[in-house]
Amino acid sequence: MAEAGYNTFLLRSEDVYIDLLTDSGTSAMSDRQWAGMMLGDEAYAGSRNFYHLEEAARNYYGYRYFVPTHQGRGAEHLLSQAVIKPGHYVPGNMYFTTTRLHQEMAGGTFVDVIIDEAHDPANLHPFKGNVDLDKLESLIKRVGANNIPYVSLAGTVNMAGGQPVSMANVRALRELCDRYGIRIYLDATRMVENVFFIQEREKGYADKSVAVILKEFCSFTDGAWMSAKKDHLVNIGGWLAVNDSDLFDTLRNMVVIYEGLHTYGGMAGRDMEALAIGIAESVNDAHVRSRVEQVRYLGDLLINWGIPIVQPVGGHAVFLDAKRIYSHLSQDQFPAQTLVAEIYLDSGVRSMERGIVSAGRDSETGDHRYPALELTRLAIPRRVYTQAHMDVVAEAVKAVYDARKQTRGLAMVYEPKYLRFFQARFEPIT
C-alpha cells in the first residue's frame, strides 16, 4: 500500500486477491464470444464484424445511426465536442467523472438534477436515479432552453450507488424536454441492469423481457453512448448511436480524427465480433437476474451485520458508506480512500474510492468539491466470482469495520490535474 501511495489504482494486479476495483472490462467473456474472436475480419474498412455490431446495437437499442469508439470516454468526447458550446449547461442525474470532464472540456457546466433522495445513502426510494423534473425545469427557466444542448441521463447511476431510473421518469422527462425542444442523450453503460430494476419494481413490467423494456426505455431518448466494457461483457469497446442524421454526419466525421475509421472506431475486428455477441447475451433475463442478485447477496450480508452501505443495493456494486463508518474523520481526511486502503491491507481485496477524491476540484474556485456521498465501491465483475468470494469479501469488510475506531485518515501528497483519483498518492496521518 505504501509503495502504491495508498491508491489501489497504483497496485499491480498480481498483488490483489479478489479484484473489485471495477466491473469495467473485467467480466468473463463466454465461449461464444471467444469463438467470435476467431472470426475477426481485420480489413481496415468495412469489416463484416462492424456490420454485425451495428445490427446488434440497432436491434436491441433501436437508434438509427451508429458510431463505434474504443471505449465509453471516446464516445463522450465525440458527443461533447459535437454538441456542447462554451457557456452551455448540461443537466444530468448526478455526475460521472469522465462524462463531466468531457462536458467541461467542451465548455459546458454540468448541473446535477437528480432527486434529493439519491444523495442520502439510507433512503430506500426504489428509483434513486430519477431526474427531479422541478430542478430541471427551474434550470431551463433560469438559463434558457437554447443554452441546454441535452439532458445527460444515465441508467443505473454509478456515483449514486448503481441506482436506477424508472420508466415513468424517463417518459415524463421526454414530455418536459419536448415542451422546450431539448434533446436527451442516454449513458447506456449499465442500462441493461437498470432495466432489471424496472422489471422487478415498476408496475406493468414484471412480465416483459429485459430486451423489450430496454427498447421501450431507449425510445424516449434521442441517442446513447456506451462503455461496452460493462453491460456488454467485453474487455474493450464502446459506441455512440443517435437518431439525428446531421449529428450523425458530424460524429462520423469526428471519429476518424480521434478514434479510427467509422467502421472500427479503435476496435479490432475481433473485438467488434465479441461485442456484437455480448450485446445479445447481455439482455438474457436469467443472466441479468443472477448478476444483480450476486451483488445483492454481498450487500445483504453487510446489511445483516449492521454495516452502513448505500441502500437499496445497486446493480453493479456494493457501496460502503465511509462517512458513517469513519464518522470521526473529516471529509478532507479522505474516509473512503482510507477504507479502500484498510480493506486491501486486511485481505488483499481491491476496491475504489467514490467520494471527495473522485469528485475533484471545482473548476472555478479550485477548492475540493465536497460531495454528500463519501463511498467505497466494491464492484463485481460479471460471470467471474462465486458466492464463496463474496463471503470472503464480506468478512474482510466486517474486520475493517470492527476496527474502525482505531483507524486514522490519509493526507494527499501528490495530485494530478485531471481525474486525480487515478494517480493521486497518499500517506497515513500520524
Residues belonging to the active site: 44, 96-97, 187, 230, 354, 421
Please give the full DSSP string across 205-245, using - where no structure is assigned.
Answer: -TTS-HHHHHHHHHHTSSEEEEETTSTT--SS-EEEEES-H
Count residues binding ligand P71 (CB under 6 A).
16
Q: How far is the CB of 242 from ligand P71 (least distance, A)?
A: 17
Among the listed residues 334, 336, 348, the one whose alpha carbon sits nearest the alpha carbon of residue 415:
334
Residue 395 or 415: the one with the smaller Cβ distance to ligand P71 is 415
The values of phi and psi at residue 231, to 5°, are -50, -35
| Whole-number Å distance between alpha carbons of 255 and 269 | 16
Q: Is 163 in the site for ligand P71 (CB under 6 A)?
A: no
- Stretch 22-41 residues interacting with ligand P71 (CB under 6 A): 22, 24
Give the contacts of 290 (CB within 8 A, at least 6 positions apart): none
Q: Is 158 in the site for ligand P71 (CB under 6 A)?
A: yes
In this chain, which stretch among 67-75, 138-146, 273-281, 399-407 interacts with ligand P71, using CB under 6 A? Answer: 67-75
Residue 140 or 224: the one with the smaller Cβ distance to ligand P71 is 224
First to last CA, the chain: 16
Residue 80 or 158: the one with the smaller Cβ distance to ligand P71 is 158
Q: Is 97 in the site for ligand P71 (CB under 6 A)?
A: yes
In this chain, which stretch among 94-102, 136-144, 248-256, 403-411 interacts with ligand P71, using CB under 6 A? Answer: 94-102
Contact (Cβ atoms closer than 8 angstroms) between residue 91 and residue 151:
yes
Residue the block writes with cell 467470435: 36
- Residue among 49, 80, 199, 227 that touches ligand P71 (CB under 6 A): 227
Give the contacts of 212 (CB within 8 A, at least 6 positions apart): none
Residue 235 or 407: the one with the smaller Cβ distance to ligand P71 is 235
- Residue among 88, 128, 229, 232 that touches ligand P71 (CB under 6 A): 229
Cell of 114: 437528480
- Residue among 7, 8, 49, 189 that touches ligand P71 (CB under 6 A): 189
The values of phi and psi at residue 376, to 5°, are -115, 125
| 97-103-107-111 Cα dihedral, nearest 10 degrees | -80
In this chain, which stretch among 92-100, 123-131, 200-208, 403-411 interacts with ligand P71, using CB under 6 A? Answer: 92-100
| Whole-number Å distance between alpha carbons of 160 and 311 | 10
Q: Is 96 in the site for ligand P71 (CB under 6 A)?
A: yes
Cell of 338: 482510507
- Residue among 19, 132, 187, 231 that touches ligand P71 (CB under 6 A): 187
Site residues, ligand P71 (CB under 6 A): 22, 24, 71-73, 96-99, 154, 158, 187, 189, 227, 229, 238
